[in-house]
Amino acid sequence: METGQARGNTMTLSDSAIRELAFKMLDSFRIEIPSWGFANTGTRFGKFVQAAAATTIEEKFADAAEVNRLTGATPTMALHVLWDLPNGLKDVPEVRALERRFGIRSGSINPNLFQDQEYKYGSLCNPSAEIRERALQHLFDSIEIGKALDSRDISLWMADGSNYPGTQSIRKRIGWLEDALRAAHDRLGPDQRLLVEYKPFEPAFYHTDIADWGMSSHFARQAGPQAFVLVDTGHHYSAQNIEQIVAWLLHTGLLGGFHFNDRRYADDDLTLGSIDPYQIFRIFHEIHCAQSEGLPHAVAYMIDQSHNLKGKIEAMVQTVVTAQELYLKAALVDRERLAGLQQACDLVAAEELFRGAFWRDARPLTRAWREARGLPADPLEALRAGGYVERIARERGSRSAAVSSYA
């Protein structure tokens, strides 16, 4: 058998050592799936309803369990408070029962500060003190829900911003948000974290109150030591170097987690790695480098995708499998050799080593790992063969269409 060295791209290890390392990496890799990825959604131009879409939290848990059964990598599901726990803390016992029934734990808790009519001009940055207070109360409630569900991360995204120059005081809004996030941080339990997500535009198009990683970093630092930055890969301008942002956040100790998806233009919600798999590889490489140097805190891997053309469960399984492959490819970069080539400024050799790891077909290893762990060797094929989607489409069909008949 060929060794890694002979391939000239990955570690100079024997095949059995590569296999051992790959299994270790895949055993530790977990990625969280979003409850909203199973429900009917669309674009502002319309919805294409899917008979198999989940309409209740119970159905979302059932779908999450199916993805985890097939991939073995998704034991938690992110919850969006307004969509999944509309009655707040009162819904916690039901969620707890669903966790037990389906073997899926609640993941990050996402407050909803963008849907209510009051938030037309913002939530935590609204010029009205009363509305800011109401938004803060919702954030506090979300933190309590997180405590009640033993969930570590509060994942905060706001739609706050403005559409026209001169219509809002950008600086006043910074101050209001600093105050709110400090107050929220004070309420966190000892194991909880506050993740601050940024987005450069949409739905606000002139300015957003947390537009980039620098602003998120500032707010996280101001809020306190349990606040970190959340990088949604779809929330950048074209051509931005996301792995450089990741490297900076690792360097400054502020990287809290990811919302993974891919994009061609804006926040497109396309499948992870469908447009630019090399970028995800480069992001994972930065994380592997930091981890091998002893990363002191957790980085949460989460998916933030809501498909309206692809089958929802199929798209989710495809995403998880792709994430595993890219995570593994990046883990198999010979980092020691790369460091030597970087130091020697041997540009072509360094690039070839790096690209070589990307081109490596990781699928035989992921397949072998699945077989060894009693998982289906090909999760997408197993999903099709199992008939789960057809069954739920029959059961949910008419309900799913009815629930989606309003925009």
Helices (H), 155-241: 170-187, 213-223
Q: Which amino acid is at 343?
A: Q
Interaction mask 257-296, ligand PSV, x per CB under 6 A = --x-------x-----------------------------
Instruction: Give the one residue of 147, 259, 285, 312 binding Mn ion; rule: CB under 5 A.
Output: 259
Q: Which amino acid is at 168?
A: Q
CB of 259 to ligand PSV, least distance (A): 5
Give the Cβ contact number of residue 368 at 10 Å.
15
CB of 176 to ligand PSV, least distance (A): 20
Nearer to ligand PSV, 36 or 354 (CB): 36
**With CB under 5 A, what is the number of residues at the site for Mn ion?**
3
Nearer to ligand PSV, 209 or 267 (CB): 267
| From 144-152, 218-226, 300-308, 394-402, span contacting Mn ion (CB under 5 A) | 300-308
In angstroms, the CA 188 to CA 191 distance is 8
Residues 6+ apart with CB under 8 A from 208: 159, 160, 161, 198, 199, 200, 201
In angstroms, the CA 323 to CA 301 distance is 10
Q: What does 110 bind: ligand PSV, Mn ion, none (CB cut-off 5 to 8 Å by kind)?
A: ligand PSV
What residues between 157 and 186 interact with ligand PSV by CB under 6 A? Answer: 157
Beta bridge partners of 43: 46
Inter-residue contact 311 to 389 (CB < 8 Å): yes
Instruction: Give the one residue of 110, 142, 192, 322 binding ligand PSV; rule: CB under 6 A.
Output: 110
Inter-residue contact 28 to 17 (CB < 8 Å): no
Inter-residue contact 286 to 233 (CB < 8 Å): no
**Binding status of residue 232 toward ligand PSV by CB under 6 A:** yes
Interaction site with Mn ion (CB under 5 A): 232, 259, 304
Interaction site with ligand PSV (CB under 6 A): 36, 110, 157, 197, 199, 232, 259, 267, 304
